[in-house]
Amino acid sequence: MDSPEARIHFLRKRLNELNYHYHTLDSPLVSDPVYDALLKELEALEQEHPEFKQGDSPSSRVGSSVKSEFVRLRHRRPMLSLNNAFSEEEVRKFETRIRERLPDLKDIEFFAEPKLDGLAINLRYESGLFVQGTTRGDGEFGEDVTANIRTISNIPFELKAAKVPAILEVRGEVIMEKAGFQALNAQNLLTGGKIFANPRNAAAGSLRQLDSRVAAARPLKFYAYGLGEVSQAFAETQEELLLNLEAWGFALTGLQKKVRGTEGCLGFFAHIQAIRNRLAYEIDGVVYKVNNFSLQEKLGFVAKAPRFAIAHKFPAEEVETLLEDVEFQVGRRGTITPVARLTPALVGGVTVSNASLHNFEEIQRKDIRIGDVVLIRRAGDVIPEVVKSVVEKRSSQARKIIQPSHCPSCGTELAQEKEEVALRCPQGKHCLAQRIEMLWHFASRPAMNIDGLGRKILELLVHAGEVKAPVDLYRLTRSNLLGLDRWGEKSADNLLRAIEESKSTTLPRLIYALGIPEVGQSTALVLAQHFGDLDLIRKATWEEFQKIPDIGPVVARHLLDYFQDPYLQNSLDQLLAQGLVWPRIEKNKSLPLSGKTVVLTGSLAGWTREALREKLESLGAKVSGSVSKKVDFLIVGEEAGSKLEKAQALGIPLWDKDRWEDFLQKAFLTYPGIFEPISNL
């Protein structure tokens, strides 16, 4: 059985992958219930073992990284997500937590709204004129999609009302209604265009096009629900806020309602669930917010979400269909995953035809057989979960799923490690399927970031014999590519340019790209910071790896095995000979704030308290809750409290927002390739 540290590491890695596919590629890999279960498990393990939690954990993040093609903009006020409730009990606990923080509150007034299933957007207005539109991105940074936003007909571009603040950021959801989604897919089916999984993916894919003419041709709508940065307050409640936004020309669902207590919330939920299928657009639940803004401020935030709001998600829709067959897929590490091929079924407005069965232990536990009628469910995503077989409808022709003895790709006999559920192909790079997965990992965005090298192109190159190892990507020529089916000069030149650009990388990216078992992005960063040089990493002993924080004996053994394998080291030498370069990092250089104690007071525009604390700790600082002579500096925001007076009396240096962010810029220059620059403030 995995140790807590290993399980946390696995969950972080898996959730980061799922976040990237959902938020950045608009191509979800699993259903919402599967994702939520993994996230809940991670949160529980991190709470039980806080020593293993990292600052970049998916439990503390929103969304995924921004697409490199768009300009990267920082939100003046972070775009946070909401915690979820899946039952009446969890909604009651939500109210209980509020009452614990506000014990004098006799009656809690909530404002309830449908939770639209689209793409969260921030619209910025200056002097009443629309100037910028940004996606949520990772919550701190988003993508500038202004040109595409301007094509959405129901977004007002000039607010003429007298009370409009000089600076106003309106937040809401860009959606595609069901009828428009069906018409778009029907048209794309005729023209050979992309068939979208669901309206949410269609809206996101439309808005994140580099050519705004694509967005203009698609039936997008915007519905408002909140605020970002605003220069002056103009409402005291969520209800008053939406009334103002509606008066200024913003569309609302018209279904929002003020309710009292948990019972009022649950009554609203039942009503919206009853009319859900009659709505023109997709929703995946409802949102409850404490109506009064002053109470919201007192409740504050925790990690990535506010304490004053929660999303009550609908239960996953379940549909029966036939399990026609099972295929076996081979992963990068040789793991064999059974995939169910289903008779296409309409689930929540989306036709689905396959689902992962995870592993054979799961198949046996659920007693799933080929030819069974199975119950599948989804909640907003196309890839469903097989809930169970409907045994009472089992045909006499149904047959058990036979565990394969040999790899479906290379034919090698499969192996199963002790205490492991998964079957694995031991052939590694000699297995064609594993080779493709390894190359896909190497070229991916978090690794060498070879833009435009999609999986289908990679498979074509491998099957054509042009690429067998990562180094072969850098040896490709124009003539190699033009010899492939349906390749033109422009496509060839674009790919070659992207491959050439990927040579300029960072040491953490390169280490991650090597695909060493258990070495994810965070471990690659730790290695780069500790050693500062790839040659030193290659010569390190098991004992030296073990001394590094966050690297345990299992990871140390994987590192040693990789860097002592003559074949792998020869391959790495060939790769480096292609001209890969990265900024130099000084060995064992202490972090910019190592040994420093910092205290926070007041609110810093554009930063939540949690994000500020995490950034300080990632730079080596200890964040204290009280002021003393041991404090090195105080970060001071708006409405600073008594800590400011005490710090002034002790002569402790004070840092305002400008000094803090100027420090971050300099830290980035000092640590090129490790810390993200702070730009577009």
- Provide the annotated active-site residues: 115
β-bridge partners, 66: none
Structure tokens at 280: 């023109």
Amino acid letter at 619? L
Contacts of residue 463, Cβ cutoff 8 Å, sequence gap at least 6: none
Residue 396, CB-side half-sphere exposure with 13 Å CA sphere: 0
- The β-bridge relationship of strands 597-601 and 373-378 is unpaired
Question: CA torsion 96→100→102→107, rounded to 10°?
Answer: 30
Q: In whole angstroms, what is the distance from residue 102 CA to residue 99 CA?
A: 5
Contact 285, 311 (CB under 8 A): yes
Structure tokens at 459: 């498979």
β-bridge partners, 336: 330
Residue with tokens 């939406």: 242
Residue 624 carries which DSSP code?
Answer: E
DSSP string, 36-94: HHHHHHHHHHHHH-GGG--TT-GGG--S-PPPTTSPEEE-SS------EE-SHHHHHHH
Q: In whole angstroms, what is the distance from residue 250 CA to residue 272 CA?
A: 22
Contacts of residue 202, Cβ cutoff 8 Å, sequence gap at least 6: 176, 181, 184, 185, 196, 218
Q: At what angle do helices 178-191 and 199-207 cross, to 10 degrees?
A: 70
